[in-house]
A and B are shown apart, each in its own frame.
Chain A
């Protein structure tokens, strides 16, 4: 085999090495370093560098290099390189703008009309000049490297934008929740006896939904519904809401309007979560069809509505109201139990008891119900009661 043929085969195999490195799963820096090794190994160049053009800073950054003085590479002026041919290797010679000790040949890297950077090589170990065939090969290699670097830059740019959007979304989410909380505080402030009621209902509902295995997105949805379920009370007079004596039938009818009003308000908001308006609208419905505003029965009540109904009632029972004293947790649990099948859903009650029991036993890292219960509660008594209810409901 002639020497020329052997060299041609070696160059072809070097191109294959280049392809393998470019398409490898290695991290970009490793990839580009291996690419430089392929090039210096192909041309027997002792020194080499791949520079990347940072458009925003209008400067060249060294991606990888071996053998050149770093300060010389830092001094390379991008405008000088841009004036040279696209991806065409050229001899540096005594070019005034390219004073890099030991550098002999340079290929400006371009993808279409975009300047990407440069590939710089020293002379060969053998001290022989670069042949026209080698310059041709270097041109092919320069095209490949330019595309690789450009693709990486695009990917990094997209990743940065994605991260920026993610942060922006997170900020907006926080602002959204902050607004909801302020809104809920305004609702609860109308009624001196329901301070933080919306906040607790949101927390209890989310805890039940989480125990039921809902997705984080859906949990956030019921959390929002919990915050807004009484928003319609903003349209009810303070006098009526804070009335100490029993309501007249007319007054009761007026109070009952709040869930429909809540629906009217929330239906104007385009929530990213499904069924928020439905949960808000029907949180006073009952399984037996004696609830309001639509007297819906079992099949028409979604799990979300069933959860919110139970959470709302439990909190109402365990907090002080103008017309009655607050119940202790055991009494409230007994009341919920009495109303199973007629008002509350068996399975939701079972899940609620399970999650509260887990919180009492310290099985959940971030309890959501327990912190809001009366501190004087005897937790061991509550726990054994919960165990009884869980056993009973698990059998049925």
Chain B
């Protein structure tokens, strides 16, 4: 099976950044996810939503990259929300205990609502 080249797009939704990783998060190319989040953090954004609808699989390298984002946001007292996760992703995050360091929502709009309410 031909693997999809990992890529990242993003958009700003109010005072939150929504990040869309695409492909298997399993190699150094996943650093683009950390970099994308870093750009928003550098601009003062403290709320990040990662929409995993196009990333069904992750391995230890991907976990390490996600750790980096959690750590970066923790340093600025920010929030990371993960949405649209496959069962595999959700199970893996739960098993590792990562789930306690992020907010999990079924859809992107749920996460944005939560973050919006947090501001108010």
| Chain A residues packing against B (C-beta within 8 Å) | 3, 6-7, 10, 13-14, 17, 21, 30, 33-34, 37-42, 44-46, 66-67, 125-126, 128
Contact = CB atoms under 8 A, between A and B. Distances in A.
B79 interface: no
A45 B68 CA distance: 10
Chain B residues touching A, range: 20 to 34
23 contacts: A3-B95, A6-B95, A10-B60, A17-B59, A17-B61, A30-B28, A33-B28, A34-B28, A34-B61, A37-B60, A37-B64, A37-B65, A38-B60, A41-B61, A41-B63, A41-B64, A44-B67, A44-B96, A125-B67, A125-B101, A126-B96, A126-B100, A128-B97
B35 to A, nearest CB: 14
Interface string B35-67: 000000000000000000000000111111101
Contact of B64 (A7, A38, A126): A38
A13 B27 CA distance: 14
Contacts, number: 65
Interface string B65-97: 101101100000000000000000001100111
Contact of A41 (B28, B67, B95): B67
B55 to A, nearest CB: 15
Contacts of A7: 95
Contact of B27 (A34, A66, A126): A34
A268 B14 CA distance: 89
A42 B67 CA distance: 11
B103 interface: no
A41 B98 contact: no
Main secondary structure on B side of the interface with A? helix
Given A17-B26, A125-B71, A126-B97, 5 more contacts: A41-B60, A41-B64, A42-B60, A42-B63, A46-B71
A34 B60 CA distance: 10
Contacts of A41: 59-65, 67
A99 to B, nearest CB: 22
A7 B91 CA distance: 11
B71 A10 contact: no
B66 to A, nearest CB: 8
Main secondary structure on A side of the interface with B? helix
A21 B97 CA distance: 25
Nearest to B60: A41
A125 B69 CA distance: 12
A113 to B, nearest CB: 31
Q: Choose among A17, A125, A126, A128 the residue with the greatest number of B CB atoms under 10 Å from its CB.
A: A125
Contacts of A37: 28, 60-61, 64-65
Contacts of B92: 10
A33 B30 CA distance: 13
Contacts of A38: 59-61, 64
Nearest to A126: B97
Contact of A10 (B28, B96, B101): B96
Q: Choose among A17, A33, A41, A44 the residue with the greatest number of B CB atoms under 10 Å from its CB.
A: A41
A34 B98 CA distance: 21
Given A44-B97, A46-B67, A125-B70, A17 B60 contact: yes
Given A10-B95, A17-B59, A40 B28 contact: no
Nearest to B71: A46
Nearest to B61: A37
A131 to B, nearest CB: 13
B63 A44 contact: yes
- What 10 pairs between A and B have smallest CB-CB spacing? A41-B64, A41-B60, A41-B63, A37-B64, A126-B97, A14-B60, A37-B61, A40-B64, A6-B95, A38-B60
Q: Choose among A40, A66, A67 the residue with the greatest number of B CB atoms under 10 Å from its CB.
A: A40
B36 to A, nearest CB: 17
Q: Choose among A10, A30, A37, A45 the residue with the greatest number of B CB atoms under 10 Å from its CB.
A: A37
